[in-house]
Amino acid sequence: MHKVQILSAVIKKSCVIFILICIFLPFVCATQTKVSNIQPIKKIYLKKESDKYYFCVDFENSVHFSPRIHTLPKGAKLILSFKEKVRAPKTPKIKNHKLINGYFFEQIGESSLLMILSLKERVNFVEKRYTNNSIRLGFKLQKKRNIVIDAGHGGKDPGTRCLSGDYEKNIALIAAIELRNKLTASGKYNVILTRDRDQFVPIEKRKELAANADLLISLHTDSNSDKKMRGMSVYTLPTLDFVKNESTIPQQESDEYYKNLARSRKFANTLVSYIPTSCKFKNHPRRDVELKILKLLYPAILIVLGCVSNKIDNQLLHSRAFREKTNRAILYALDKFFEKEE
């Protein structure tokens, strides 16, 4: 009898231990799994070297991982795949907040981390470097270029008259304001208008307003006795061989003249390539003309938006959709032009 009681007590005790093991084993395993997952990030910081900034991620120890890095004008996305289980770190603060909006980590599965970096300024990423100990993303701030938009004519100088009865000065002004808004909204350009209302602005005053520009764009329309003539065209200065009076180019040596002419033509050709075929002159859309507004110490072009003497162009010039298409082409050309100069 005594042996039976002892056996019964042992069985009860074993059952209790078994039940306790069943209850607490998952928690113990989970805790062990959590502890076994490494937190690889040691330090995150921003540093500056010369004209470059570096967003740096240092690892606690040497780790093996495969990075996928996608850069954006105002940030970056990193997907880090490790060879062992990891857990996302807490997001520590970065002392220098002048450029960084913020960043965060997110767990992807057991062995991958997603990191999103958000910047306050538009930048150009110039370097992606990583080792088993760190990641370095190097970038430069995008320089805002100064663009002068010159709406042709104005006030007592109406320019050509459209088939609809409107004048060139009004078409050019509307186009200039809409282009200004487009470029400003991109966040890449500082824009100056030589006029923002129907007023006459002398040529010297226009050039004075454009003194610190990186590029001038003068907007006009055209009229032709041939009513079938239509399309956009882009004008730059001619070579000095065709300039009527070389003395009208103040304080400018011929080599400097040709340097600016080359850059003007480069931008003009870039722009022509973005203008839809249905909107531009069929033959020689990039042309030469000697005009005072183009005789500057930096690239300058004149865009003829269309021929107001042609029915199709007349309708297009009064179409917001057409002007939006034109502005988009100019923005693309500007981006491409300055991208190559950086």
pLDDT: which is higher, 218 or 277: 218
Residues 84 and 196 in one domain: no
pLDDT over 70 at 27, yes or no: no
- In terms of pLDDT, which residue wins out, 333 or 163? 333
Percent of the chain with pLDDT over 70: 85
Whether residues 309 and 162 fall in one domain: yes
Q: How far apart are CA 278 and CA 170, in angstroms?
A: 24
For residue 9, pLDDT beyond 60 = no
What CATH number does the domain containing 129 carry?
2.60.40.3500
Task: Please report whether residue 279 resides in a domain.
Answer: yes
Considering the domain architecture, whether residues 48 and 119 belong to the same structural domain is answered as yes
Same domain, 330 and 252: yes
Domain that holds residue 251: 145-341
Q: Region 213-226: what's the mean pLDDT?
A: 94
Q: Is residue 189 part of a domain?
A: yes
Q: Which residues contact 181 (CB under 8 A, 6 or more apart)?
A: none
Instruction: Tokens for 20, please give them.
Output: 């306790």
Query: Is 297's pLDDT higher than 90?
Result: no
| 208 pLDDT higher than 50 | yes
Q: What is the largest CA-CA distance in the chain?
A: 131
Q: Are 247 and 332 in contact (CB under 8 A)?
A: no
Query: 58 and 88 share a domain?
Result: yes
The answer to whether 46 touches 54, Cβ cutoff 8 Å, is yes
124-165 per-position pLDDT tens digit: 899 999 999 999 999 999 889 999 999 999 999 999 998 888
- Contact (CB, 8 A) for 306 and 222: yes
Beta-strand runs (E) in 50-194: 52-59, 65-72, 75-82, 100-108, 112-119, 123-130, 134-141, 145-151, 189-193
Cα dist. 184→120, 180, 267, 306, 314 in Å? 16, 6, 19, 24, 27
Determine the pLDDT at residue 30.
46
Determine the pLDDT at residue 288.
94
Please report the pLDDT score of residue 244 as a whole number.
65
Into how many domains does the chain fold? 2
Q: Are residues 151 and 278 in the same domain?
A: yes
In a domain, 32, yes or no: no
pLDDT confidence tier of residue 33, bands split at 50, 70 and 90: very low
Can you tell me the mean pLDDT for 52-79?
92
Query: Residue 8: inside a domain, yes or no?
Result: no
pLDDT tens digits along 233-254: 999 999 887 776 665 555 556 7
Tens of pLDDT along 106-127? 999 899 999 999 998 889 899 9
pLDDT above 90 as % of the chain: 58
Residue at which a domain ends, from 117, 141, 165: 141
CA distance 84 to 111: 6
User: Considering 141, 165, 190, which residue would you say is the last residue of a domain?
Assistant: 141
Same domain, 206 and 124: no
Whole-prediction pTM value? 0.71
Residue corresponding to tokens 């040529």: 203
Instruction: Mark whether 296 and 174 lie in a shared domain.
Output: yes
